Amino acid sequence: MNTMTYQGFRARVAFDEVDDLFVGQIAGINDVISFHGETVPELKAAFHEAVDDYIAACRAIGKEPEKAYSGKLMLRIDPDIHAQAALAAELAGTSLNQWAEDVLRRAGSERMAAVTEEA
Domain that holds residue 46: 2-60
- Hey, is 39 helix, strand or coil? coil
Shared domain for 56 and 101, answered yes or no, is no
The reply to whether 74 falls in a domain is no
Asked whether the beta carbons of 8 and 48 are under 8 A apart, the reply is: no
Note the pLDDT of residue 68: 64
Shared domain for 85 and 36, answered yes or no, is no
Q: Given a cut of 90, is residue 8 above it in pLDDT?
A: no
pLDDT band for 11, please (50, 70, 90 cuts).
very high
Note the pLDDT of residue 67: 73
One-letter amino acid at 56 equals A
The reply to whether 71 falls in a domain is no
Asked whether the beta carbons of 11 and 23 are under 8 A apart, the reply is: no
Shared domain for 6 and 48, answered yes or no, is yes
Q: Given a cut of 80, is residue 89 above it in pLDDT?
A: yes
Shared domain for 83 and 52, answered yes or no, is no
* CA pair distance 69, 82, nearest whole angstrom: 23
Q: What does residue 48 show for φ and ψ, rounded to 5 degrees?
A: -60, -45
Please give the tally of structural domains in the chain: 2
Q: Given a cut of 70, is residue 91 above it in pLDDT?
A: yes
CA trace torsion 65, 67, 72, 74 (10° rounding): 90
The reply to whether 89 falls in a domain is yes
Write the pLDDT tens digit of every residue in 13-40. 999 999 999 999 998 888 899 999 999 9
